[in-house]
Structure 1
Amino acid sequence: MGTEQKVTDKDRLVTVTLDPNTITSINPDEVHEWRIAIYDLLEDNSFRPARVAAEGPFALHVSIVGNFIVLDVRDPETFKPIAAHYLSLTPFRRLIRDYFRIRDAYYEAIRSAQPFQIETVDMARRGMHNEAAELLRTRLTNKLIIDLNTARRLFTLICAVQPYASRIDEATSELPTVLFVCSMNSVRSPIAAALARQAFPGRVIARSVGVNGGKADGFVHEVMEEIGIDMSIHTPHILDELVANHFDLVITLSDDAPEAVERKGLEAGAIEHWKVEDPSLVEGSRELVLNAYRELRDGLRRRVRERLEPLVSGGSQTG
């Protein structure tokens, strides 16, 4: 019995992140809705990938590619890929529309309706949620093993992110592409990419990777939150995971990055190296370390704006 309970405890999600390249919003209400959906999913779930030997707990990285939600299961410590599944949104279109229609009716009923009207709307909401959860479990058969409660919460998350998805097809898009590379994709490169997306929303495709895999950094979350950027959605990636091989501009931010980029054989309109300090190496009080992260953030903010302005305006890649 004890062993069974231990295995069950591992069959769960402990981290959920969203791909900032395909799920984009600068509206704080929308971001708040994502956070609530993620919080509810993590609070209580039963989750494990089917047909793989990996042992949990697990991390889930969510992105939207064309008409598909991509459910990318990873190791929560190393973010090493375990299994990725493409889930077509087409079978869920009616249910997603119903979700928002019933949600709005429920909020309206709470404000003005009689108790019996609230109960009627709530019953419709529960029925729709159960139908969506069963469909989700069916579509994920032999891919992901989730219980009904987890499926309900995962569907809520899909509804929360789906309307705000940026369906940029990088293969056909004419938007300028920029890749930032550092050692671990934990601090410098993800900060730079996030700042690029904030400065030029919908005008640039900005990605970040590391030479090696790293972990999410809490100080990054804190200092980026100060300027309205939610970095809790960031998942570290490495150069070897890159699908795209051509970028208009590649910017390396660590000493080991230029050689790794050269080995990878990326095609680029221009490759530049920016010498920036790694604040994770700073020792001292919490405030001293935070200030080092803020200094990096503010320095990169200015430099990213200045460097990318001519690129997004249709100018030359060469600085």
Structure 2
Amino acid sequence: MSDTALTADRIAHIELDDSTILWRSEDVERERVAAMTDLVADNHFVPLRAVEQGHAGPWSLRLSVADGRLDLWISDGVGVEAGAIGLGLARFRRDIREYFAICDSYYKAVRNPSAQEIETIDMARRAIHDRGSRQLQEALEGKVDADFATARRLFTLICVLHIKG
């Protein structure tokens, strides 16, 4: 594969529709910034229908949540709208709720460090995050070719979009 093909199969820009988010804690904001930075730096993302229609990356992605649905708005490498993918969020609700509950415990534990407690909570946090990421990868199957690390970062951003005041 050429370098061009490799760089085309990725997200080059991502933004979140923040219009429904009323408040973010400092910890959640750090998670958002890290996930967005890491995602753009290293990802594998190919929206299959857009490619079939002749679009090519690198891709720009806008995530929004409305009416119980996650919408991924995709633009191609020259900025032309390349379609949208909608996913029902009901399947993710439990993982999102558990992920933020365990993150809250983790943030509290880090402030009053007990190495064993932090390690235990962090292991649980990673397990919940991985479960949600695998579920996202399955939901995107047949729509987007994305590796696990990309799904993991996208799951973090989906969680951030669910933060309400």
Q: Which TM-score applies when normalising by structure 1?
A: 0.46
The size of the alignment, in residue pairs, is: 161
Cα offset, 1:113, TM superposition: 3.8
Counterpart for residue 149 of structure 1:
149
Q: Which SS does the other structure have where 1:164 is aligned?
A: coil
Supply the distance in 2 between the matched residues of 1:11 and 1:109 (Cα, whole angstroms).
39
CA contact (8 A) 1:11 1:46 kept: yes
Task: Say if 1:150 and 1:91 are closer, same or farther in 2 by CA, change over 3 A.
Answer: same
Alignment of 1:178-257 (within 5 A): none
1:57 maps to a residue whose letter is P
Q: Which SS does the other structure have where 1:163 is aligned?
A: coil
1:23 maps to a residue whose letter is T
Supply the distance in 2 between the matched residues of 1:133 and 1:24 (Cα, whole angstroms).
22
Cα offset, 1:145, TM superposition: 1.1
CA contact (8 A) 1:34 1:161 kept: no
1:63 maps to a residue whose letter is S
Supply the distance in 2 between the matched residues of 1:109 and 1:31 (Cα, whole angstroms).
18
- Report which structure shows greater RCO (CA 8 Å, sep ≥6): 2
1:31-66 deviations in Å (ceiling 9; x for gaps): 665444322321221111013232110000112220
Supply the distance in 2 between the matched residues of 1:24 and 1:128 (Cα, whole angstroms).
23
* 1:64 to 2:62 alignment: no
1:54-112 deviations in Å (ceiling 9; x for gaps): 2110000112220001001112542x211211111100111001111111111122222
1:97-154 deviations in Å (ceiling 9; x for gaps): 1111111111122222421221111111111111111100100111111100011100
Alignment of 1:29-44 (within 5 A): 29=26, 34-44=32-42
Supply the distance in 1 between the matched residues of 2:30 and 2:106 (Cα, whole angstroms).
19
Query: Structure 1: where are the runs of 5+ without partners?
Result: 166-319
RMSD over aligned CA atoms reads 2.3
Counterpart for residue 95 of structure 1:
95
Task: Say if 1:31 and 1:108 are closer, same or farther in 2 by CA, change over 3 A.
Answer: closer
Name whichever structure is richer in helix by fraction: 2
Supply the distance in 1 between the matched residues of 2:134 and 2:63 (Cα, whole angstroms).
20
* 1:75 to 2:76 alignment: yes
1:178-225 deviations in Å (ceiling 9; x for gaps): xxxxxxxxxxxxxxxxxxxxxxxxxxxxxxxxxxxxxxxxxxxxxxxx
**Identical positions, percent:** 37
Counterpart for residue 56 of structure 2:
55
Q: Which SS does the other structure have where 2:163 is aligned?
A: helix
Supply the distance in 2 between the matched residues of 1:10 and 1:126 (Cα, whole angstroms).
29
CA contact (8 A) 1:15 1:76 kept: no
Supply the distance in 2 between the matched residues of 1:117 and 1:149 (Cα, whole angstroms).
26
Counterpart for residue 127 of structure 2:
127
Q: Which SS does the other structure have where 1:54 is aligned?
A: coil
